[in-house]
Amino acid sequence: MRERYQRLRLLRGYQTRGVPGLLQTADYTRAALMTVREEENLRPDDADLNAAVAERMNRQMVLRRGMRPRTFLFVVEEDTLWYRPYPRQVHIDQLRYLRQVATGRLASVVFGVIPRTVGRHGVRPRESFIITDDALVSVEMVSGYLRISTPDEVAMYVQAWERLNGLTVVGDEAAALVDRALDDLGGGG
Specify whether the CB–CB gap between 98 and 92 falls below 8 A: no
Q: Find which of 4-13, 64-73, 146-155 is predicted with most confidence, using mean pLDDT.
A: 146-155
Do 74 and 108 touch, CB atoms closer than 8 A? no
- pLDDT digit string (tens) for 134-177? 999 999 887 778 999 999 999 999 999 999 999 999 999 999 99
Task: Work out the average pLDDT over 55-62.
Answer: 89
**DSSP annotation string for 44-111:** P-HHHHHHHHHHHHHHGGGGT--SS--EEEEEEETHHHH---S-HHHHHHHHHHHHHHHTTSSTTEEE
Domain ranges of the chain: 2-184
pLDDT (tens digit, 9 = 90+) per residue, 16-36? Answer: 989 999 999 999 999 998 887
Least confident range of 4-8, 77-81, 96-100, 120-124: 4-8
**Cα–Cα distance, 27 to 163 (Å, whole number):** 32
- Residue 169 per-residue DSSP state: B
Burial bucket for residue 92 (CB in 10 Å: 0-12, 13-18, 19+)? middle
**Residue 87's pLDDT is what?**
95
Contact status, residue 42 vs residue 144, Cβ threshold 8 Å: no
pLDDT, mean over the chain:
90
pLDDT of residue 125: 77
Give pLDDT, residue 35.
Answer: 85
Neighbours of 45 (CB within 10 A): 11
Whether 75 shows a pLDDT value over 80: the answer reads yes
* Residue 113 scores a pLDDT above 90: yes
Taking the C-alpha atoms of residue 128 and residue 139, their distance in angstroms, rounded to an integer, is: 6
More confident residue, 176 or 124: 176
More confident residue, 61 or 69: 61
Provide mean pLDDT across the span 36-57: 79
| 62 has a pLDDT exceeding 60 | yes
User: What is residue 92's predicted lDDT score, i.e. its pLDDT?
Assistant: 97
Residue positions counted in the chain: 189
Assign 91 a pLDDT band (cuts: 50, 70, 90). Answer: very high
| Spatial distance between the Cα atoms of 68 and 124, rounded to a whole number of angstroms | 34
Architecture of the structural domain at 2-184: 2-Layer Sandwich (3.30)
Q: Is the pLDDT of residue 6 over 80?
A: no
